[in-house]
Structure 1
Amino acid sequence: MDGDRLLLTLGISVAVLAFLLVLHAFDVIAFRNQNSITRMASGMIAGSFSLVTLVVSVNQLILSQEFSPAGKHRNQYAGVMEFRRDIEERSGVSTAPIEPARIVAVIADAIIRRANELADVIEGHPDEEFERRVVEYTEQLEGDTEWIDEQLDRSSVETFDALSVAVEYDDGWQISAARSLRNDAPELTDETAAAFEELIDTLRLFSTMQEHFKTVYLQRELTRFSQLTIYCGVPAILAAALIALLYGDVGGAAINVQILPYVTAFLTTVVFVPLALLASYILRTATVTRRTATTGPMLLEKPTKERPGDVRESGTER
């Protein structure tokens, strides 16, 4: 998931080439039957054209989201600037950072600070059991949030580096737990109610940041995937056509029969490169989308018998 997509594509392609050569070495497959090879090449050409066409369609869909009149663009820009002002207000920094990893770190620090403030104001509450639950929640919240800071490289400017850490944070559960504790409180002073509200608003800010980074990441990643597929799609179609031409001569193969299996295996691997590219990019984008599919507190993965305000013994699962 965290690896370079091009290196992963290269690894898959090398594995395909090695697989074909190993099968040939053990006489599992052969490259002698002219009819079967040419039929396979025809299917490869058709499949490559279909894949390139599909990717172009995806690219057009992404581009359609980028076209916006002045009014829509101003609203989007105003929304981003308001989001940055919220970060500055909640975190106490003069100017919100522009690096994704530093933005995540600033919001995480703000969450920890709000959790500590809640723990301080709840001290001495008349209901000792409620006080204990709130303190346990804030301690667990602080531990889960400190994990973010440990995993982040604040010098990173890659959106995915920040997003990969952010999606592991169970902000939906934290919001549900805070709201449940606040709503079930036997009594709350104005100061305690304000501390709960500040913490919940800061957690919501984290959720907004996560969604913003996901949108930016998916747009950039799918656009990059479209570019690379076009770059690799043309050589793949040419490689499939060369396979057909190598076996298209009436008198047999057009090159030395001894090197024919290696040349055919290499050209077949070139044809598979766009598919390997598709696998490496869609695997990560689909995983990110699945992990961030819900808006707000929503449990979709595993059932639980815990109430939202109950403190888990094992902490956040990662």
Structure 2
Amino acid sequence: MSIDPDDGVDAEAGSGTELETSGDTDISTANTMRERADESRLKLYVILSANRLVVTAALGLLLFATFVAIGSVGGFYENLNTGDTKATIFSTMLGAIITGTTLIVTISQLVISQENGPLGDQHARMSNTMDFRNYMSDMVEEPVPVDPSAFLQELVNETKERAETLRGSVSGSDDNDLRAEVDEFTDSVTGNADAVQEELDGARFGSFDVLYGALNFNYSWKIFQVERIADEYADEIDEDTETVLSEFKTALSMWGPAREHIKTLYFQWALIDLSQLILYVSVPALLVAGAMLGFFGTAPIPGVTLGVQNVVWVVGAGFTVTSLPFLLLVSYISRIATVAKRTLAIGPLILRGSQR
């Protein structure tokens, strides 16, 4: 199965299996993106779940090992000890570090500038936020938590309760197909909700954990199922059940803007972290690039260590260190771009081939 745009990431929580009801109508979905998409657990872990600093370090080690391996084959190392190869490499890296760091600082300023504005704009932002919180407070009939993970837990718990209310509302129906579909749908919703709540429990904003859990709740497919059931069984459901379906759809619809808000905040947080980290590593990277140019330049580096020419060790290490700002950028942007692509649509729109 392909990935829905609002599918989330893999988790340790158990997953549902896709079932079919009468008429070959697919209702249930698995609880994690990996299971819904049938993608590699390792791939999703590296791109989404793994700590970005660990990914950067792994990329750096891979780059260093590859450089040394290539330099150890045949007489490739001789090119490093003759001419101005070292000077060309590190003078290029020196310019790239300065240019890249300037670009990242500019991006950071753009992110921060979104938080700035005149009083009227700030008042509008505050009013919109409080309107959403008040609406959600009325829906759940209690104060809304301020912690992002608890906020999402409260919302997903509300959808689970309304799914159970829907099951109870149709339990006395004479239509066996309606009862069977609602039972299966409710089991799917509650299973998915339990898995998401478990992932959100104790998650702290600033890491990827909160968004990690939120993305697993494929609310758009659930909204579609509510709309389909209401339309397909319009003659079999009574007015009370119509109200329950409407309230259930409202709870599911609230998940879209709530998740997008959390996603936006995470993107801003991650981009600021990225900017800070690149600034931190740019200083030693500049120092290494300058040292390689000033102390070695076109001069040969004699000697052999562990069967590998010293010039290969030195140039490989220097090239890896000067590449760290770029590797940090790769590790962070790969996650941000992947999440952004999988959450382009808001509401019941399925951009991929899954269950269309």
Q: Give the TM interval when normalised to the shorter protein.
A: 0.7 to 0.9
Report which stretch shifted further, 103-112 or 143-152. Answer: 143-152
1:36, 1:21 → 2: CA distance? 16
1:245, 1:29 → 2: CA distance? 23
Q: Which residue of 2 aligns with 1:146?
A: 194
Identical-residue share of aligned pairs (%): 26
CA 62–28 in structure 1, closer or farther in 2 if over 3 Å, else same: farther
Letter in 2 for 1:135: D
Matched, 1:218 2:267: yes
Q: Which residue of 2 aligns with 1:316?
A: none
CA 132–83 in structure 1, closer or farther in 2 if over 3 Å, else same: same
Equivalences for residues 104-253 of structure 1 within 5 A = 104-154=152-202, 156-158=204-206, 160-187=208-235, 188-248=237-297, 252-253=299-300
Letter in 2 for 1:292: T
Equivalences for residues 1-318 of structure 1 within 5 A = 1-27=48-74, 29-30=76-77, 31-92=80-141, 94-154=142-202, 156-158=204-206, 160-187=208-235, 188-248=237-297, 252-253=299-300, 259-304=310-355
Letter in 1 for 2:182: V
Letter in 2 for 1:102: A
Deviation at 1:65, TM superposition (A): 1.0
Deviation at 1:138, TM superposition (A): 1.9
Give the structure-2-normalised TM-score: 0.77
Give the structure-1-normalised TM-score: 0.86
CA 155–272 in structure 1, closer or farther in 2 if over 3 Å, else same: closer
1:129, 1:142 → 2: CA distance? 20
Letter in 2 for 1:209: A
Report Cα offsets for 1:213-258 as digits up to 9, x if no partner. 0010000101111111122223323322322223436xx34x6655
1:162, 1:293 → 2: CA distance? 19
Report which stretch shifted further, 259-268 or 286-295. Answer: 259-268
Deviation at 1:285, TM superposition (A): 0.8
How many residue pairs get aligned? The number is 301
Deviation at 1:280, TM superposition (A): 0.9
CA root-mean-square deviation: 2.2
Report Cα offsets for 1:182-210 as digits up to 9, x if no partner. 12333343211110111111111111211
The secondary structure found in structure 2 opposite 1:218 is helix
The secondary structure found in structure 1 opposite 2:65 is helix
Report which stretch shifted further, 3-12 or 189-198. Answer: 3-12
Letter in 2 for 1:3: A
CA 303–150 in structure 1, closer or farther in 2 if over 3 Å, else same: closer
Report which stretch shifted further, 149-158 or 216-225. Answer: 149-158
1:221, 1:285 → 2: CA distance? 8
Deviation at 1:113, TM superposition (A): 0.4
Letter in 1 for 2:88: R
Report Cα offsets for 1:259-298 as digits up to 9, x if no partner. 4433322211111101110111011111111111111111
- Contact 1:20 1:265 (8 Å CA) reproduced: yes
- Contact 1:110 1:202 (8 Å CA) reproduced: yes
Gaps of 5+ in 1: 306-318
